[in-house]
Structure 1
Amino acid sequence: MASSAADLHIFFLPLLAPGHMIPMLDLSILISARGPRSTIVTTPANAKLLRPSLSDTDNPNIHLLTIPFTSDESIQLPENLTGHPIPDITPEFFASLCRLEPHFESLFLTHRPDCIISDIFYPWTATLAKRYGIPRIAFHGTSYFSFTVMSVISLLRLYESVSSFDEPFLVPGFRHNIKMTRSQMSSIVTSPPEFMAGFPASLKETYGTVMNTFHELEPAYADFFKSFSDMRSWNVGPVFLCRRSVDSLRNRGGAAACEVFRWLDGKDAGSVLYVCFGSLARFTAAQLREMRAGLEAAGRSFIWVVTDDPEAEGSVPVTGEEEGSVGFVIKGWAPQLAILEHEALGGFLTHCGWNSCLEGIAAGVPMVTWPLFADQQFNERFLVDVLGVGVSVGSVVNSTRPEERTVVVAERVAAAVEAVMGEGEEAEERRRKAREMKEAAARAVGEGGSSEVDLGRMVEELMALKMNRMKG
């Protein structure tokens, strides 16, 4: 008997961090729109975070199931990376992800899905999928560029070819002139932690990878990845473009969001800088003071999103519009997509997390780049050296610990903001390239676009695999 897409059931297991959970939720929305059933598996505390986004969809094919989060009782880990200062819990947190396996397997045996799409940080899902004869697809939370450049640097140990931490080295094998320093390297590159030991073996058992990017954005690096890894891959991004209701995005922020949009509506087109470093970033009080001074010295209207960080007390303006200031401060969550798409936006000061990079690209906004840790230094090079839509403030130390990073002085902040939002041929060229990327992103997810076609191919291939198993 013929099988339809509605018979296909996929389990999604996102990493327990907002920057990984939300894109995988968006991916499940895109897949379920084609007929398959999607079940997102996470822990109770993270399920509460996902439900508001899930409620925005009206697709009955998407479900949320929970498994318990267990950790070493002596450590008392949070269920999410945002629940504790990153440097203090990262190794233990990632080690605790292995404890999800028996609970996930129990749920798996109850529901018997046809495929597992899991974050790359769950290598054990590849073994589990193989055990039960179904495909595991790995979700990468970064770009082809960052993954391939990191892989080449790690494989060739290029960071050992320099005599100091700030001496640049060239990454060979690519058309673009990519130079980096040892200080910009994540420990994942120079000394991979123990929890990553199972990654290479798991990728050999993985059926393919799905990437939140689009082919036109980084074609050379997508092709390099496929030849380098010898693995199937599908480009399906930007996945957040499945949530295009600006009214819905605006309303999710509550009263604070309504206030900021009233403020934005009174600004000239392209006149406002949006400043946001994601949910995990922390800064010293000294850095926050320099940041504030630099933003105010630039003389541009700005929206600054700050976290609930004790270091920020007294170093940033109060929430809302401060009298005599050109800035508007939001504490906590902000409706970033809707803000970036507002016509008043002219620049985005970002930590270069991949989701934020994509959101800036899809909104057609040039960026001021301020990477902090993980893959962010690599994403900066992609924005600045490959796409030509970014200007760096000069943050060159890759560390989760704010006290280890060199303070970026106010003058450099102001200069980078002016380079992005000012006049002149270079600034206009960045804006032109940003507009081109926005158009390319929209085409990619539209009917017949590269990401739309790739998503369809992935679903069709998973359907064919299921039918072959049924015949066997």
Structure 2
Amino acid sequence: MMNTPTVLVLPFPAQGHVNPMMSLSHKLVEHGCNIIFVNSDFSHKRVVRPMENNDKNNDSSSSSPIKLVSIPDGLGPEHDRVNLGELCVSILNTMPSKLEKLIEEIQLNEGIKVICVVADVFMGWGLEVARKVGIKGAYFWPAAASMFGLQHNSPKLIADRILDSDGSPTSTTKSFWLSSYLPAMDIKVMWWLNMLDPLIGKRLFKYVLHSLKDSDVTDWWLCNSTYELEPQAFSFVPKLLPIGPLLRIHHNNNHNQIARSLGQFWEEDLSCMSWLDQQPHGSVLYVAFGSITLFDQKQLTELAFGLELTDKPFLWVMRQDYNGGGNKVSLPNEFKGNKGKIVGWAPQQRVLSHPAIACFVSHCGWNSTIESLTNGVPFLCWPYFADQFFNKRYICDVLKVGLGFDSNENGLISRGEIKSKVDQVLRDENIASRSHKVMEKLKHNIGETSSSSRNLNRFLTWLKE
């Protein structure tokens, strides 16, 4: 085992960032690497809890090729980590020195030499730490390649006075061109302008700018996408290498069941799989809004009655934290939900690959987008914040594999609108056909001879040199 390279993987502490980096970790393990997966203490506790509930103390197993460890993010237990601006300031002040100490301790106490740090771009400071201790580094971008092109070129947008130093548009400009490779970009798709609090958006913009300030020092920028999915974006940033779609392994034995669940912040309710087995093919609406989206009572009520109105079976993921932290909502008393099943968290990739699924009512996070596209499932798009608005436009206007919802005069997506769009997307044979074509392209990229596999193999060769 002495020749097995050890890679340290550093995700941003959010479910949508941990998931693809855990999938990447499994890929690296398959190709003969050991992984040290470094969460914040807060995320680590969340990841380990479902594993302990399954009686699988995965993080303590020294024989596991993925070792889960953690370092503090600098915030106390009373702090609200939903305030990403505050979290990022604390991360920058606390985690770099803690990471450096962790790497030294791993070598000193366990004799393990980390040969490379793969850092989420949102944890780009990790590569500064790697350089300081003489270790190679690589960036990982967990979102669409187009969004990386936008982020990486924001210093130029500031220099050209399209943006000010906070990332805000400087004039009445509604759209701009990043390059001749890309279609015009609408100001509204800039992810940092779509945060729930504009101040948090400005802080995050500056944080990611800082994370990318030394990006040219590393040769490796990896991305969970494919050439076929975003050809123009990869032409614009040729250094960015697609290694997607990054999906979990799909086997039924115990080891891979654990592997598939590793990294989840909530315990997956597997009873939904046997429920899906009992539904007719292509009949079920899968409704899931990721790890952050919250609805107020009025919108939740419209959604519940909208699902009932469709008269279709539905699988609705309502997170366990949905009714906590001041977000007091409940299902309306008159809601029967006889045709549906509601779970706290689902094994999403298995759900989306199930033949009973007809369409995905989604927040359009990039992981959900990739997973649904890979399974040929059409979308009903309901973005909440950040890059989800760009992803929605890409799904509806570029790939044309889904529809968006329209709000009424009160800013609500009504039950009638939900029923109407469900009927429309399920009737539309063109959407079904295009979804199937995109699926075929992405499935091709899972094979060993695909461009994504070749890119990953180039990276692995470099790792092992």
TM-score computed with the length of structure 1 as normaliser: 0.79
Aligned partner of residue 186 in structure 1, secondary structure: helix
Q: CA deviation at 1:130?
A: 2.2
Residue in 2 that maps onto 1:63: 66
Residue in 2 that maps onto 1:262: 274
Residue in 1 that maps onto 2:413: 408
Residue in 2 that maps onto 1:336: 348
User: Which structure has greater helix proportion?
Assistant: 1
User: Among residues 80, 88, 94, which one is paired with 2:88 in the alignment?
Assistant: 94
Residue in 1 that maps onto 2:456: 455
- For the pair 1:108 / 2:113, whether they are aligned, the reply is no
Q: CA deviation at 1:349?
A: 0.5
Aligned partner of residue 445 in structure 1, secondary structure: coil
Instruction: Report if aligned partners of 1:152, 1:171 keep a CA contact under 8 Å in 2.
Output: no
Aligned partner of residue 216 in structure 1, secondary structure: coil
> Distance in 2 between the 1:178 and 1:410 partners?
34
Aligned partner of residue 278 in structure 1, secondary structure: coil
Q: CA deviation at 1:376?
A: 0.5
Residue in 2 that maps onto 1:213: 225
> Distance in 2 between the 1:5 and 1:221 partners?
40
> Distance in 1 between the 2:382 and 2:420 partners?
13
Distance 1:197 1:180, change over 3 A: closer
Residue in 2 that maps onto 1:315: 331
Instruction: Report if aligned partners of 1:210, 1:235 keep a CA contact under 8 Å in 2.
Output: yes
Residue in 2 that maps onto 1:201: 213
Instruction: Report if aligned partners of 1:275, 1:304 keep a CA contact under 8 Å in 2.
Output: yes
Aligned partner of residue 139 in structure 2, secondary structure: strand
Amino acid at match of 1:442: K
**Aligned alpha-carbon RMSD (Å):** 3.4
> Distance in 1 between the 2:413 and 2:296 partners?
11
Residue in 1 that maps onto 2:110: none
**Number of aligned residues:** 424
Residue in 2 that maps onto 1:399: none
Instruction: Report if aligned partners of 1:277, 1:351 keep a CA contact under 8 Å in 2.
Output: yes
- For the pair 1:129 / 2:145, whether they are aligned, the reply is no
> Distance in 1 between the 2:36 and 2:115 partners?
11
User: Among residues 233, 243, 246, which one is paired with 2:249 in the alignment?
Assistant: 243
User: Which stretch of the first structure deviates more once superposed, 427-436 or 358-367?
Assistant: 427-436
Taking the TM superposition and a 5 Å limit, the aligned residue runs for 1:136-285 are: 136-149=137-150, 155=157, 156-157=162-163, 159-160=169-170, 162=172, 169=175, 173=179, 180=186, 182=188, 186-187=192-193, 192-193=202-203, 194-226=206-238, 232-240=239-247, 242-245=248-251, 256-258=269-271, 260-285=272-297
Q: CA deviation at 1:149?
A: 4.7
Instruction: Report if aligned partners of 1:32, 1:61 keep a CA contact under 8 Å in 2.
Output: no
Residue in 1 that maps onto 2:396: 384
Question: Share of identical aligned residues, percent?
Answer: 25
Residue in 2 that maps onto 1:467: none
Is there any run of 5+ residues in structure 2 with no aligned partner, and where?
Answer: 108-112
> Distance in 2 between the 1:178 and 1:395 partners?
25
Instruction: Report if aligned partners of 1:32, 1:59 keep a CA contact under 8 Å in 2.
Output: no
Q: Deviations over 1:96-116 (max 9, x none)?
A: 212111121012224331111
Q: Deviations over 1:120-148 (max 9, x none)?
A: 12232222222233322111110112333
> Distance in 2 between the 1:136 and 1:395 partners?
45
User: Among residues 296, 299, 310, which one is paired with 2:311 in the alignment?
Assistant: 299
Q: Deviations over 1:378-401 (max 9, x none)?
A: 1111111121111111369xxxxx
Instruction: Report if aligned partners of 2:40, 2:73 keep a CA contact under 8 Å in 1.
Output: no
- For the pair 1:444 / 2:445, whether they are aligned, the reply is yes
> Distance in 1 between the 2:297 and 2:64 partners?
47
> Distance in 2 between the 1:338 and 1:292 partners?
24
Distance 1:270 1:63, change over 3 A: closer
Amino acid at match of 1:93: L
Distance 1:365 1:176, change over 3 A: farther
TM-score computed with the length of structure 2 as normaliser: 0.80
Q: Deviations over 1:29-55 (max 9, x none)?
A: 111211222211224443344454995
Aligned partner of residue 270 in structure 1, secondary structure: coil
Distance 1:188 1:205, change over 3 A: farther
Residue in 1 that maps onto 2:79: 77
Residue in 2 that maps onto 1:24: 21
Amino acid at match of 2:137: R
Residue in 2 that maps onto 1:229: none
> Distance in 2 between the 1:387 and 1:12 partners?
32
> Distance in 2 between the 1:389 and 1:221 partners?
19
Distance 1:344 1:453, change over 3 A: same
Q: Deviations over 1:154-202 (max 9, x none)?
A: 8234955548xxxx64657467766646497533898631433513423
> Distance in 1 between the 2:336 and 2:416 partners?
23
> Distance in 1 between the 2:333 and 2:18 partners?
31
